[in-house]
């Protein structure tokens, strides 16, 4: 009876020109975690040792793509290799490139050389995949970037390896349009989608990630793929000088410590935390905010979650989430 009445009501609303509300998707299972590793210091290695068994993919920041040569520089850190192997976590190291003003990706020959260099290093090291991060990308280079990703993916797929591509924040209302998510998904296996930097170091002080802003990223991602777009949460913030100037990067762990040491009063709502201490205005993602954003992604049925980056998040974050590997391996 209840379902029949609901159907009658929905039909009546449509007849009146009122769109029927779409049911919310059923929350997905615990996500696979894709964790970046920006450094290999004490905290990073400690967290890899203790939480690596809960992570599906680890993306250490090991390589630099040098343009316009092109060539790769960098290489693996032995300690990370050992810990990752012990934890059973796949390594998809990051290949970074920072485009200078006016610098182009290049034509077909350039793309072939880049793809060959990346594929050769992946095969030599036995990586199951790699992660490509090229920033900033002018809109004029959008199609060239699509073609580069297609070339790299094709080479890796021939070797039975996979490709993840980092893309900056975007929503239906705006964002970085140089990165064409739909086009990139036709080649890459995963898109790592930034859910942060609503305010960055070069902006005036403000929230790094708001609940509404992150929901906007999730909603846009869900229109394309819940299984291959990986929303990324950031365990960090920025500290802006009270007297003005660019912000300085600060991890969630460091921001928590600074607030505790100074006794600064916490301000903010719905996950955005800020405080003023030691001559700085600090906005950052605290532990409850990180857990809430992870739950937002799962509630929308996203199959993956990315963390930027391992070792910057408090231990309490891991106590507040469940991952696929925990369920699968009983970790």
pLDDT tens-digit readout, 70-92: 899 999 999 999 999 999 999 99
Residues 232/308, Cβ–Cβ less than 8 Å: yes
Confidence at residue 16, expressed as pLDDT on a 0 to 100 scale: 38
Q: Does 250 map to a domain?
A: no
User: Which pair of structure tokens corresponds to residue 318?
Assistant: 């891991």
Number of structural domains (the chain) is 1
Confidence label for 331 from pLDDT (cuts 50, 70 and 90):
low
- Per-residue pLDDT at 39 exceeds 50: yes
Helices 78-87 and 42-51: angle between axes, nearest 10 degrees: 20
Residues 6+ apart with CB under 8 A from 195: 169, 209, 213, 214, 217, 218, 231, 232, 233, 234, 293
**Could you give the CA distance from residue 7 to residue 229 in angstroms, rounded to a whole number?**
33
Radius of gyration in angstroms for the set of CA atoms belonging to the chain, rounded to a whole number: 21
User: Average pLDDT over the chain, rounded to whole?
Assistant: 91
Over residues 237-282, the pLDDT tens digits come to 999 999 999 999 999 999 999 999 999 999 976 667 899 999 999 9
**Could you give the CA distance from residue 283 to residue 116 in angstroms, rounded to a whole number?**
42
Over residues 116-152, the pLDDT tens digits come to 999 999 999 999 999 999 999 999 999 999 999 999 9
Residues 6+ apart with CB under 8 A from 272: 207, 208, 209, 210, 211, 283, 285, 289
User: Which pair of structure tokens corresponds to residue 4?
Assistant: 């029949």
Q: Does 65 map to a domain?
A: yes
Domain interval for residue 136: 30-234+288-329
More confident residue, 104 or 262: 262
Mean pLDDT of 183-197: 98
Q: Does 183 map to a domain?
A: yes
pTM: 0.91
Q: Does 272 map to a domain?
A: no
Beta bridge partners of 133: 96
Helix (H) or strand (E) holding 143: helix 142-158
Question: Residue 185 is part of a domain; what is its CATH number?
Answer: 3.20.20.80
Residues 67/106, Cβ–Cβ less than 8 Å: yes
Q: Does 241 map to a domain?
A: no
Among 24-38, 52-66, 159-173, 176-190, the least confident range? 24-38
Beta bridge partners of 237: 250, 284
Helix (H, G, I), strand (E, B) or coil at 75: coil
- Bond prior to 237 in cis (omega within 30° of 0): no
Confidence at residue 242, expressed as pLDDT on a 0 to 100 scale: 97
Confidence at residue 60, expressed as pLDDT on a 0 to 100 scale: 98
Q: Does 138 map to a domain?
A: yes
Residues 231/312, Cβ–Cβ less than 8 Å: no
Alpha helices in 57-129 (DSSP H): 78-87, 108-125
């Amino acid at each position: 009876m209840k379902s029949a009445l609901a159907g009658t009501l929905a039909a009546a609303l449509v007849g009146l020109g009122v769109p029927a509300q779409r049911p919310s998707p059923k929350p997905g299972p615990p996500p696979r975690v894709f964790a970046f590793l920006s450094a290999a210091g004490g905290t990073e290695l400690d967290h890899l040792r203790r939480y690596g068994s809960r992570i599906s993919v680890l993306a250490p920041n090991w390589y630099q793509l040098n343009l316009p040569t092109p060539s790769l520089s960098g290489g693996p850190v032995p300690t990370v290799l050992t810990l990752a192997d012990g934890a059973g976590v796949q390594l998809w190291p990051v290949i970074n490139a920072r485009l200078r003003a006016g610098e182009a990706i290049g034509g077909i020959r350039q793309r072939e050389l880049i793809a060959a260099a990346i594929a050769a290093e992946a095969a030599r090291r036995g990586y199951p995949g790699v992660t490509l991060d090229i920033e900033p990308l002018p809109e004029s280079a959008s199609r060239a970037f699509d073609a580069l990703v297609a070339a790299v993916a094709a080479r890796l797929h021939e070797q039975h390896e996979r490709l993840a591509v980092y893309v900056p924040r975007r929503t239906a209302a705006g964002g970085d349009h140089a990165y064409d998510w739909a086009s990139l998904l036709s080649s890459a296996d995963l898109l790592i989608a930034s859910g942060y930097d609503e305010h960055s170091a070069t902006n005036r002080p403000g929230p790094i990630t708001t609940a509404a802003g992150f929901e906007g990223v999730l909603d846009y991602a869900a229109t394309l793929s819940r299984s291959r777009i990986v929303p990324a949460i950031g365990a960090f913030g920025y500290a802006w000088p009270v007297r003005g100037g660019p912000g300085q990067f600060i991890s969630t762990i460091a921001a928590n410590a600074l607030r505790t040491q100074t006794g600064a009063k916490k301000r903010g709502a719905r996950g955005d935390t800020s405080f003023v201490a030691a001559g700085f205005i600090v906005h950052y993602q605290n532990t409850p905010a990180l857990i809430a954003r992870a739950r937002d992604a799962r509630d929308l049925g996203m199959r993956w979650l990315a963390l930027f980056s391992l070792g910057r998040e408090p231990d309490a974050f891991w106590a507040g989430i469940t991952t696929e590997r925990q369920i699968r391996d009983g970790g």
